[in-house]
Amino acid sequence: MNHSLVFTFIGLDRPGLVERLADIVADHQGNWLESRMTQLAGQFAGIARVSVPESELEELTNALQCLNIEGLTITIQAGQAVTASPTPKICKLHILGNDRPGIVREVSRALKQQQINVLEFNSNITSAAMSGDPLFEAHVRSEIPVDCDFDELESSLDAIAEQLSVDIILS
């Protein structure tokens, strides 16, 4: 029987880091299922889900944890079984505006108030084309509950957009 493991890692960015992790997973008959990884401020961080035979579970866990001596911080959790449920509605947001504190807090608060679960949140600071001023841009993919009041969500996001002088496009 195979088990699902989810592990996070962070450490100083360097060539070969992903290969090192993939080698350890493969050496323990694991299958790399999905991951999200990125480099930020010289650090490389990620989260990955792998499947591993029960006979290799403890060995893989130990091998990943040994990477701490190589300067990686690793956290490992057992993956949870996903039960079949109706296909959820997906909501996408695109946020763009002059960078300022509070954008993520206000948008995430509005989503929480509607019990909307964030599946992915990617943000970045870029430069405005003409002025060079810092622009905040985010792409959010969320799961909407069946009983979500979409009109109320739109109203709260419009209020945030006006208050913070950002564009929020909901689709």
Query: Which three-class secondary structure state does DSSP give residue 57?
Result: helix
Nearest CA among 99, 141, 139, 134 for reference residue 118:
141
Overall average pLDDT of the 155-164 stretch: 94
pTM of structure: 0.81
pLDDT recorded at residue 81: 66
pLDDT recorded at residue 129: 85
What domains are there in the chain, each with its CATH number? 2-78 (3.30.70.260), 89-170 (3.30.70.260)
Overall average pLDDT of the 28-33 stretch: 95
Overall average pLDDT of the 117-135 stretch: 91
Contacts of residue 129, defined as CB under 8 A and 6 or more positions apart, other chains included, come to none
Least confident span in 22-31, 36-45, 79-88 = 79-88
User: Is residue 61 within 8 Å of 76, Cβ to Cβ?
Assistant: yes
Overall average pLDDT of the 102-117 stretch: 94
pLDDT recorded at residue 122: 94
pLDDT recorded at residue 149: 86
pLDDT recorded at residue 136: 95
Overall average pLDDT of the 44-58 stretch: 95
Res 42 pLDDT > 90: yes
Instruction: Count the Cβ atoms, other than its own, within 10 Å of residue 32.
Output: 14
Q: Rounded distance, CA 8 to CA 48, Å?
A: 6
Res 35 pLDDT > 70: yes
Tell me the pLDDT tens digit for each residue of 93-108.
999 999 999 999 999 9
Overall average pLDDT of the 106-120 stretch: 94
pLDDT greater at residue 67 or residue 128: 67
Q: Mean pLDDT in the chain?
A: 92
Res 85 pLDDT > 70: no
Per-residue DSSP letter, 133: -
